Structure 1
Amino acid sequence: MAAVHGVRALLSLHRSALFQRSFGLIPVQLTSTCLPTRLCSATTKRNKARPEQKNCNKSLLENLHLMGVDVEMARQRQPGVFRRKSLTNEQGLAEFLQSKGASSEEIASIISRFPRAITRSTEHLEERWELWRKILNTDSEMLSVLERSPESFFRSSDNKNFENIITFLTSLGFKTKDLQRLLVKAPRIFCGSLDLTRQKVNFLKDICVELGGTNPEQFTKTVLYKNVFIFSESIKRIRTNIDILRAYLGLGNSEMLAFIQGSAAKILVLSTEYLQNNLNSVELKMVSLGCQKADIQKLFYTYPVVLYISPATLSPKLECLLKVGIKVEQILETPRVLDYSTQNILGRLEQLQEVEYNFQKNGIGILDCSQKRFLAKMEKLKL
C-alpha cells in the first residue's frame, strides 16, 4: 500500500513540475527518466473504480488552474470534457501551441472558450496545422484565426473532412487567396461536414436556375464572395428570406437574380424573424414620413442593408437628419448616410451648421464620405 502511495506522490510531483516548467513558473530540467504526466487519466481495469475517476478529474482541474484557464467558463461551455474517463492532452496542447508562438495567456483563453481542445492528440494537432498551412502562410496568421475562433481548429477530429472541403471549394474556382479570406473571415466553414457544404452550394445553383440564370457556378461564387457566412446558415433560413424579400419587392426573375448576387447577399443570413420585423418597422416609419410603398421598395432594393439596422437605432438617425432641414427624399436618394452612427451624424451636422451649410442647395453627399474627406471638405468650406 505504501508503495502505491509512493508512486502516486511521484506522479503528482512530476506533473506539477511539467506544468510549472511549461508556463515559466520554475526552471525545471526534465530527463529521460521522468514519468509521463497524467497517467491516471487513462482507463484501465485497475482504475475503473469511482474514487480513481474522481482523482483524475481533480488532477485535470489542478492542471488547468496552473495554466490559468477559466475553469468555470470551460465547465459551462463543454461540461462533457470534465467527465471524460480517457486521457486528455492539456500538456501536449500547451507545448504544441507554445511551439507555434502562442503565449500562456492565449493558450488559457483558447482552452477556456473551447475546452474540447485538450482532447486532441498531438499527432492530430500537427496534421491539422499542416492542412491550415496549405491556406495561410505563417504561424502568426494561423494563431490569430485560432485565437479568435478556436472552434474552427479544434471542433472536428476529422482532418480528412477538412481536406475534402478544401478540395471541394477549389473545384468551385476558389483560389488560395479566396480560401485565405474564407478561413480568416468564416473559419467555421472548414469544420462543418462536406455534405452540408455541398448542399449549400447546390441550393444556390438551384436558385440561379429557378430564376432563369445561365451560369449557376458563377452566380454561386459571386453570392458566397459577397457573404461567406451563408455557409454557416441553414438552407431553410436563406430560402425563407429570399421568399420574403421577393414577395415584398415584387421583383421579376432577372431583377431578383441581380438583387441576390448584389447587395441583398449581405442580409440573407439574418434571422427570418429579425428580417420580417425590421421590414415592417422600416415600412411604418417611412410611411409616417410621407413615403409611398414604391419609395420604400426602392429603398430596400438599392440599400437592403437598412434591414440590418434595428428600429431603435434607425429612428434617431432619421430624426436628427430631418431636424436640420434634410428632406426624406434626399435620404432615399443617398441612403448610405444611414451607415454611420448617430453620434457621427450629429457631430458632422453640428460642424456643417457652424458654416451654414445648405443641404437643399448642396445635397447631403458630404455626410456620406470618409472622415478624412469630410475634414478636407470642411477646411474648404471655412475659407
Structure 2
Amino acid sequence: MLRLVTTSICLYCQRAQVTPLLLQRTCSSVTQEENPLVIDALYDLSVDISKVRKLKGWVLRQKPVYVNETVTLLRDIGANETVIARVLELHPEAILCKPEQMELQKQLWMSVCANNKDLVGIVEKFPASFFTSSSNHDNQKANIEYFQTLHLNKRIISKLMASAPQSFSRPVKQNQEMIQTLQKTFLDLGGNEDNMKVWLQKLLTQYPYVLLKPSDALCDNLTFLHNRGFTSGELLHLLSKLRGFVTELNPESMRLTLSYSQEMFRCTEDELRRIVLQCPALLYYSVPILADRFKGLLSAGVSVEQITETPTVLELTTQIVQFRILKLRSYGYDVCSGSLDVLNGTKKDFEMSYGKLRLRRERPIFNPVAPLRTED
C-alpha cells in the first residue's frame, strides 16, 4: 500500500540527495505520492531515479507495479544489470506491464528473433516496442504471420517491429493494402518480379514508417513527376534509389525544389531531369537548404558548371564542404579548377582521397638521370 506519511518521503529524498527546493515540492505539492517501495527497488537496481522523475515521474505514482517480475523476465532472456537499469530509465512504464502480458510479448518476439541475445538487443534499444499493450497482441501476431508470407526473414521482421511498432499494432488489412500498392507500383513501372522481394526488403528496412503513410501519397508523387517528363524507367530508378520518396515527399515541395534548382543550374527541363536522376536526394531538400549549399559552393569559387557535373556535392552540408575544400587546398588541390568528385562521399571516402593527395605531394620525385647508389 502507498504510505501517505510525509516524513517517509522526506527520508527517501535525503537518501537520493534531492535538493531542498525539490524536497519541498515533493512533500507539499504532490497529491498522489510516490510509492517508496518502487523507489527503493529501482534504487537498488542502480536506476537513475532523478532521470525517471524528470521524464516520466508519473510512473512512480502508479499501482499496481511489477518491478520484480519485469527484472526477472529481463534476466531470463539474458539481460545484465547494466542493461536492466538502462531499460528502466528509458522506459519505466515497463514496470506497469502485467506478468502474463510480458510473457506473451516474450513468446511473440522469440518467434522472430534468432536467439535471446538478439531479443536483449532489441529490448535495450526499443523497450517501448517490447513492453506494449496486451490489447495489440492479436494484431501483432497476425501481422507477423502476414509478413512471413512475403518471405521476409526474421531479422527484417524483428527490425520492422522494433522501429515501427505502430504498424504491427494495427489491423493487418491496413498493412496489406500498402504492401499491395507498393508491389503493384513497382511492377507497373517495369520492375522485375524476381527483384521485387529485395526492393521491398530494402524499403521496409530503411524506411519502416512507410506502412503508416497513406497509399495515395505514392500515386500523387508519381503522377507529379510523370507530368514533369520522367519516364516509367526513370521513376523506377527514383523509387529504388530514393526510397523515402515513396510517401515522404509531396508534389508541392518537389515543385518548389525543382523550380529553384532549374533557376540555379540555368538548365532546361531535360537537363534538370538528368541532374535529378544523378542526384535523387535533390528532391528532398527545401529551397532554403539548397540556397545555403549553393551559396557556400559559389562563395568558395566553385562554378555552376562544376556543380552541374557533380550535383551529388549538394548532399553535403555547407560546413562539411568548406572544411574539405580547405583541407584539400592545404595539399595543393584546387577544387575550383578540378573535379568536385573528391569532395563527395562519406568521411571515410574523403579521407582516402585526401590521403592519396598527401602521399602524392610528400613522395620524392624519381629522377631518371640521378646515379644509382651501389655498394663499394
Render the CA deviation track for 1:40-59: whole Å, top value 9, x for unaligned: xxxxxxxxxxxxxx99x646
CA distance in structure 1 between the aligned counterparts of 2:219 and 2:127, rounded to whole angstroms: 30
Which residue number in structure 1 is paired with residue 178 of structure 2?
A: 200
The ranges of structure 1 where at least 4 consecutive aligned residues each deviate by more than 6 angstroms after the TM superposition are 81-84
Render the CA deviation track for 1:270-306: whole Å, top value 9, x for unaligned: 253xx63354145324404423333322222332212
Normalising by structure 2, report the TM-score: 0.70
Task: Give me the CA root mean square deviation.
Answer: 3.8
Of 237, 254, 264, 2:242 maps to 264
Which residue number in structure 1 is paired with residue 214 of structure 2?
A: 234
CA contact (8 A) 2:161 2:168 kept: yes
CA distance in structure 2 between the aligned counterparts of 1:143 and 1:60, rounded to whole angstroms: 28
Distance 1:362-1:64 versus aligned 2 partners, 3 A rule? same
2:129 counterpart letter in structure 1: S
Which residue number in structure 1 is paired with residue 268 of structure 2?
A: 292
SS at match of 2:302: coil
Which residue number in structure 1 is paired with residue 372 of structure 2?
A: none
CA contact (8 A) 1:283 1:296 kept: no
SS at match of 1:103: helix
CA distance in structure 2 between the aligned counterparts of 1:240 and 1:148, rounded to whole angstroms: 35
Which residue number in structure 2 is paired with residue 127 of structure 1?
A: 104
CA contact (8 A) 2:108 2:141 kept: yes
For the pair 1:330 / 2:306, whether they are aligned, the reply is yes
1:63 counterpart letter in structure 2: V
CA contact (8 A) 1:172 1:221 kept: no
Q: Which runs of 5+ in 2 are unaligned?
A: 17-29, 43-48, 363-376
Mapping of residues 183-222 of structure 1, within 5 Å: 183=161, 186=164, 188-208=166-186, 210-211=188-189, 215=193, 218-219=195-196, 221-222=198-199
CA distance in structure 2 between the aligned counterparts of 1:159 and 1:204, rounded to whole angstroms: 26
Q: Per-residue deviation at 1:122? A: 1.4
For the pair 1:153 / 2:130, whether they are aligned, the reply is yes
Mapping of residues 1-383 of structure 1, within 5 Å: 58=33, 63=38, 67=42, 68=49, 70-71=52-53, 73-74=55-56, 87-99=64-76, 100-101=79-80, 102-111=83-92, 115=93, 117-157=94-134, 158-183=136-161, 186=164, 188-208=166-186, 210-211=188-189, 215=193, 218-219=195-196, 221-226=198-203, 227-229=206-208, 230-248=210-228, 250-260=229-239, 262-272=240-250, 276-277=252-253, 279-359=255-335, 362-369=338-345, 370-383=349-362
CA distance in structure 1 between the aligned counterparts of 2:275 and 2:200, rounded to whole angstroms: 21
- Number of corresponding residues: 324
CA distance in structure 1 between the aligned counterparts of 2:247 and 2:119, rounded to whole angstroms: 26
CA contact (8 A) 1:303 1:336 kept: yes
SS at match of 1:240: helix
Q: Per-residue deviation at 1:127? A: 2.7
Q: Per-residue deviation at 1:92? A: 2.7
CA distance in structure 2 between the aligned counterparts of 1:213 and 1:348, rounded to whole angstroms: 39
CA distance in structure 1 between the aligned counterparts of 2:34 and 2:60, rounded to whole angstroms: 11
CA distance in structure 1 between the aligned counterparts of 2:249 and 2:238, rounded to whole angstroms: 19
SS at match of 1:357: coil
Percent identical residues: 18
1:234 counterpart letter in structure 2: P
Render the CA deviation track for 1:180-239: whole Å, top value 9, x for unaligned: 553565455444432222111111133245446563x84365144134422232323333
Normalising by structure 1, report the TM-score: 0.69
SS at match of 1:174: coil
1:302 counterpart letter in structure 2: Q
CA distance in structure 1 between the aligned counterparts of 2:68 and 2:340, rounded to whole angstroms: 60
Q: Which runs of 5+ in 1 are unaligned?
A: 1-7, 26-53
